[in-house]
Amino acid sequence: MATSASSSSLSPGAISGRAVGAIVARGALAGVAASLAMAIYAMIAAATYQHSGFFTPLYHIATTFIAPDTMMTSMQRAAEGSTFYFSVGPAMLGAVVHMMVGAAYGAIFGVIVQFAKLRGAAVIAAGTVWGAIVFVFSAWIGLPLAAALFDGGDPIRDMASMVGYPTFLVEHLLYGIVLGILVLAMMPAARSGNR
């Protein structure tokens, strides 16, 4: 009995469901935190060089599920010099949607890191590459698909071009770098949990 247990724990790719769940949870948590870093950058960009309003990125994301009225009002107010137009409901909806998407991408990345057995700086480099992959997927597949599924229309389908591809890319690279750093920081806890 002890022989079969030890041979199964030594077999290549053997990992318990509980361990996979922990890996997914850590990746998701790191993804939420990385999505917050990304959102902060997006909001600062919107308030400064884009002149579209500090909270506009949150309203833009919220248009996945609601009419773009709040986003348009925020942009109009910013054009009139009022950068901080705020509406609680749409801002919260946008933040929650953004964090949920960040968590999903983070969970996938956590699993990739675990099964590719990445360590050290390779995790951060992989995070940066993952951010670029998420940028490409979001811009040309994910957002158009979300627009079609949830009737988000042009603001969602064309989000990358509306934000500007350079800014949208930097946002995603920042997401990937922060994600890689956080997943790397959580790895010792993951190893000690898999005895």
Among residues of the chain, what percentage have pLDDT more than 90? 86
Which of the four pLDDT bands, split at 50, 70 and 90, describes residue 187? confident
Q: Which helix (H) or strand (E) holds 113?
A: helix 88-116
Region label for 157, one of left (φ > 0), alpha (ψ between -120 and 50) or beta (otherwise): alpha
**CB atoms < 10 A from the CB of 191, how many?**
9
- At 14 the pLDDT is 59
Nearest partner of 87 among 58, 108, 129, judged by Cα: 58
User: How many CA atoms does the CB half-sphere of 84 hold within 13 Å?
Assistant: 0
More confident residue, 140 or 187: 140
Give tens-digit pLDDT for 139-159: 999 999 999 999 999 999 999
Of 8-17, 85-94, 108-117, 168-177, least confident by mean pLDDT is 8-17
